[in-house]
Amino acid sequence: MAFQWFTIVFGWASFFLFVVLAAYKIHRIATLPLNLRWEVYPVPHETGDKRLYGGSYMEEVDWVKKPRPSSPLAEWAEMGSEIFFLKRVREHNPYHIWPLSLALHWGLYLLILWMGLLAATVFVPALAFLTMAVGIAAFVLGACGTVGLIVKRATDRNLALYTAPIDYFNLVFLAIIFGLGLVSWLGDPHFSQHQSYIASLLLFRPTPVSTNAILFFFLLQAFAVYMPCSKLIHYVMKHFTFHEILWNDEFKVKGSSKDKQIDRQLSCLATWAGPHIAPGKTWREQVRGPLAGEDQEK
């Protein structure tokens, strides 16, 4: 009974740890200073064929005074094609990792869906068959994707040179989770043990669960805690790289919040040691003031 309570507590703790750690990582990035404009076209929120050929509002004379139509929906659609189809990997990766990577990602998506279905099945038993189908698909795709990527990274020198042990660790971690999922399914074709565990979590009702199933959930929960601490949380960071930097074409308007933020940032001291940088001055003073250092080394 104590162990069963422990599995419940560990399950909820891992969930909250995941949320807290992910929020902390997001907060750390979100609160970094406002980046200079650094967009790359096409930016998908452009409308009409500009979105296709990569045009911008700057193709117009006097664009400051003109309306600049924007489609946030198109921006999210582009991100959707990246999330669900790995569009850029498919179109540009020269080492043919797309099918493997797609399998891994869909394995993860279906795994999350399967967990949701397991929870739903507690209240709607009719979902059992769908839950089983989704679970099997998740484990098969995930296992194929992770194992395939491990082999690919180890055997293709274009990838192997850049693959550190931590990258293999991440893939092996996931491969074991998907593999255990498959093994536990073989012994429990309807995932009844997994469903029992999820029900015990949701209802705070200690329930005996098979070793396979509990080992699977332990590893999955450990992974949930580990993920925000690793670069595997890249799916969240894409929001910042794309929406805040590569697709951010917003120009500065006097008196706006961005203008005020830049004003604060210009008040920071620049303590670089280069001979052309005066000591003890803020960015504003460095940029506006008399030129320092006639004699840079080269």
Considering only residues 22 to 51 of the shown chain, the ones binding another protein according to CB under 8 A are 29, 32-43, 46, 50
Q: Which stretch binds another protein (CB under 8 A): 3-11, 110-118, 119-127, 280-288?
A: 280-288
Task: Give the gyration radius of the chain's Cα atoms.
Answer: 25
Could you tell me the smallest distance in angstroms from the CB atom of residue 291 to another protein? 6
For residues 222 and 15, give the distance between their C-alpha atoms in angstroms, rounded to a whole number: 10
Q: Which C-beta is closer to another protein: that of 155 or that of 294? A: 294
For residues 277 and 204, give the distance between their C-alpha atoms in angstroms, rounded to a whole number: 62
- Residue from 67, 126, 234, 280 binding another protein (CB under 8 A): 234
Could you tell me the smallest distance in angstroms from the CB atom of residue 250 to another protein? 9
Could you tell me the smallest distance in angstroms from the CB atom of residue 150 to another protein? 14
Cα–Cα distance list, 211 to 7, 183, 208, 223, 238 (Å): 12, 11, 9, 18, 37
Q: Which C-beta is closer to another protein: that of 88 or that of 205? A: 88
Stretch 101-120 residues interacting with another protein (CB under 8 A): 101
- Residue from 9, 20, 23, 58 binding another protein (CB under 8 A): 58
Instruction: Please count the CA atoms within 13 angstroms of the CA of 284 that sit on its side-chain side.
Output: 7
Could you tell me the smallest distance in angstroms from the CB atom of residue 50 to another protein? 7
Q: Which stretch binds another protein (CB under 8 A): 115-123, 188-196, 220-228, 240-248?
A: 240-248
- Residue from 129, 151, 203, 288 binding another protein (CB under 8 A): 288
Q: Which stretch binds another protein (CB under 8 A): 108-116, 124-132, 199-207, 226-234?
A: 226-234
Q: Which helix (H) or strand (E) holds 160?
A: helix 157-160
State yes or no: residue 293 binds another protein (CB under 8 A).
yes
Q: Which C-beta is closer to another protein: that of 2 or that of 298? A: 298
Q: Decide if 14 contacts 218 (C-beta within 8 A).
A: no
**Strands (E) located in 119-185:** none
For residues 17 and 23, give the distance between their C-alpha atoms in angstroms, rounded to a whole number: 10
Stretch 150-189 residues interacting with another protein (CB under 8 A): 157-159, 161-167, 169
State yes or no: residue 84 binds another protein (CB under 8 A).
no
Phi, psi for residue 282 in degrees, rounded to 5:
-80, 170
Q: Which stretch binds another protein (CB under 8 A): 14-22, 180-188, 198-206, 265-273?
A: 265-273
Instruction: Please count the CA atoms within 13 angstroms of the CA of 182 that sit on its side-chain side.
Output: 15
Phi, psi for residue 274 in degrees, rounded to 5:
-55, 145
- Joined tokens for residue 283: 């960015």
Q: Decide if 222 contacts 215 (C-beta within 8 A).
A: no
Length reported for the chain: 298
Q: Tell me how many degrees the CA angle 78-79-83 measures, rounded to the nearest 5.
A: 125
State yes or no: residue 231 binds another protein (CB under 8 A).
yes
For residues 257 and 263, give the distance between their C-alpha atoms in angstroms, rounded to a whole number: 10
- Residue from 3, 19, 93, 205 binding another protein (CB under 8 A): 93
Could you tell me the smallest distance in angstroms from the CB atom of residue 215 to another protein? 25
- Residue from 53, 84, 129, 204 binding another protein (CB under 8 A): 53
Stretch 241-260 residues interacting with another protein (CB under 8 A): 241-242, 244-246, 249, 251-255, 258-259
